[in-house]
Amino acid sequence: MSLIQVKLIRETFTPTEKKEIATKLTDAMVSIEEENMPAATRVDIENILSDEWDFGVSAMTIDAIRILIACEQKTLEEA
């Protein structure tokens, strides 16, 4: 059995998006291991508080993440 551990900042993804993440990660494992794949792949999604993530010296808050997502979406729309 394979175990994939994912840490997400709380309130960043909806339950539907989390299910999609788990499905895509499982599909990725199956595509890599194919015939040697164990009978089950488990995806463990842990929600953590936004101030528990640090990048360098700055904590990543949920507001900072929302700004990053908005900027990335704007960039994609402009492309």
Distance CA 10, CA 31 (A): 29
Distance CA 45, CA 59 (A): 21
For residue range 31-62, list pLDDT tens digits in order: 877 766 666 788 899 988 776 666 665 666 77
Distance CA 26, CA 53 (A): 25
For residue range 14-39, list pLDDT tens digits in order: 999 999 999 999 888 888 777 666 66
Global pTM reads: 0.60
Q: Which CATH architecture has domain 2-78?
A: 2-Layer Sandwich (3.30)
What is the residue type of 69? I
